[in-house]
Structure 1
Amino acid sequence: MILEKVINKIEIQSEYKEFVDKYIDHILTEFQDKIHSIYMCGSIPKGTATPFKSDADFTIICANPKDIDYGRLSAIKDKLLAEYAFVTKIDTIICSMDEVLSKPNEWGFWVKIICVCVYGDDIGEKIPPIIISPDFIVDLNRETKEEIERIVQRILSNADDRTLTTRYIKGYSKRLLRALYSLILEDTGVWEDDMLEMKNALLKYCAIDSGLVEYLYACYLDSDVPVEEFLGIANEVYRYFENALNRMAASRTSFE
């Protein structure tokens, strides 16, 4: 089964159009010929963004990520957030062309399936069709453990800052739900980026305790929960995910 693109048509709402255009203009002006292409994912390119609730998610593809100075990138972000207060946050991922092309089930998946090109030549078109399979699911989660460890460290390091822990708990909840969802792709046949639909699919297809899924989704919506309680439940969910992924990897190896 071929995995289809999440966003097939760009439908940026009028109130966000100027913001997106200015982001692209600032990036191109600041970094000039170092940019190959720019992508977006999430509610803004889908046309479902909500002012003062939705954030902006960009991905920049370039020959060498070291060419993009994060300090200058941060200055662009701060300027735009001050000008467009209804955008809650701007996240920017930077990736090399080589990574996209050499890792089709990881970075290739991100650019080809999750994102949509808003500037430049869409490198996702050079990625072969992605077939939903255990191989793909294992490859897709190759860096999940490291990502989870980084998020946990951020929560622990900022335990006294409720604003930051709230943000990280929300992000961790979303990351775990996405990891669990990857396990059931062979059942759903599509990548779902709507969190409610993702939760409902997990309740239908995932063998994990439904109460854990409901807890994570509640934390994604409102992450004002005790840190120790959350980390304990999140760890239980991650152990389930890791065991399921290991079984999948082992079954794949046994047929090689």
Structure 2
Amino acid sequence: MEHKGLDAYGYFEREGSLGQVQAQFKGVVAAARERTGEAYGSRLHSAYVYGSLPRGTARPGRSDLDLLLALHHEPTDEDRDTAEVLGRGIDEDFPEIDGVGILLYGKDRLLSERERHDLGWFLACLCTPLLGADLAEHLPRYRPDGLLARETNGDLADLLPVMRGRARAAATPEERRKLCRAFSRHLVRTGFTLVMPRWQGWTSDLVESAEVFGQYYPERAAQMRAAAAAALDPVADPAVLRAYVEDLGPWLADEYGARHGTKTPRA
């Protein structure tokens, strides 16, 4: 029987572990743990690493380090400035990675009912504990159902105007490559969660996500496979960004809304 990231009862198995971090990235993760604790001190409740590093699929010099930090309070401007300095320092000191992304949230928000099937699910299922007490102990178990699909990626229609504006404003090849990477990832993951309840499983692998999507929407399969490739090796072609925000993105947003509804509005 195919595994599909679920246990025998159909619940998500937590993705990744520190034991899966490849040898060449262990120093990065150790530094992230130490420096995060030093930077935030008593403000920090817990820290998590997610993405390709704890999945053991990171590519030296190509993959980024992704961290989620849970604070005892809602993040302040000072907390955000600290995160910027922290991320920049780790990125500069470790050529094994290409960038550092840090998400900051107050622990009460992460545990709130409003975020139960979005940030709560993300922490409980896709984040690996790095420092502090694990908030996942206070969260439920999750299944790949329509509610999860709606609350994770059911806001694409609202995001498209922002994506269009960023695509128009990108003036350099490097800016367009960064947007290509971000947009590609978002669209592939949204395409996967669109079909996730029907497929009844989970994967974070972008290539596999595109293939699963293509089983249900063969007429769009080639576009999604191309987006998955661009997420791994982004291009600077403005025509690719235009196709995302003018064709694939709007179609995906309409189909998503029709099948799962729209995400509960956030403040």
Q: Does the alignment reach a TM-score above 0.5?
A: yes
Task: Give the stretch that moved more between structures: 141-150 or 164-173.
Answer: 141-150
SS at match of 1:203: helix
The aligned counterpart of 2:221 is 210
Q: Could you tell me how far 1:233 is from its partner in structure 2?
A: 4.2
Structure 2 unmatched runs, 5+: 1-9, 263-267
Is 1:195 the counterpart of 2:206? The answer is yes
Structure 1 unmatched runs, 5+: 252-256
Q: Could you tell me how far 1:250 is from its partner in structure 2?
A: 5.7
Say whether the 8 Å CA contact 1:184–1:206 is kept in structure 2: no
Change in Cα spacing, 1:148 to 1:63, as seen in structure 2 (3 Å) is farther
Residue 114 of structure 1, aligned match among 105, 123, 126: 126
CA distance in 2 between partners of 1:168 and 1:180 (Å) = 18
CA RMSD, aligned part only?
Answer: 2.3
SS at match of 1:39: strand
The percent of aligned pairs where both chains have the same amino acid is 16
Is 1:88 the counterpart of 2:98? The answer is yes
Say whether the 8 Å CA contact 1:38–1:119 is kept in structure 2: yes
CA distance in 2 between partners of 1:215 and 1:120 (Å) = 39
Residue 170 of structure 1, aligned match among 177, 181, 201: 181
The aligned counterpart of 1:78 is 88
CA distance in 1 between partners of 2:259 and 2:27 (Å) = 45
Superposition TM-score, scaled by structure 2 size: 0.84
Residue 234 of structure 2, aligned match among 195, 216, 223: 223
The aligned counterpart of 1:185 is 196
SS at match of 1:66: coil
Aligned length: 250
The aligned counterpart of 1:29 is 38
Residue 53 of structure 1, aligned match among 42, 57, 62: 62
SS at match of 1:57: strand
Deviations 1:94-119 (A, max 9, x none): 11212221111010111011111111
The aligned counterpart of 1:140 is 152
SS at match of 1:184: helix
CA distance in 1 between partners of 2:90 and 2:196 (Å) = 37
Q: Could you tell me how far 1:57 is from its partner in structure 2?
A: 0.5
Is 1:41 the counterpart of 2:50? The answer is yes
Say whether the 8 Å CA contact 1:219–1:225 is kept in structure 2: no
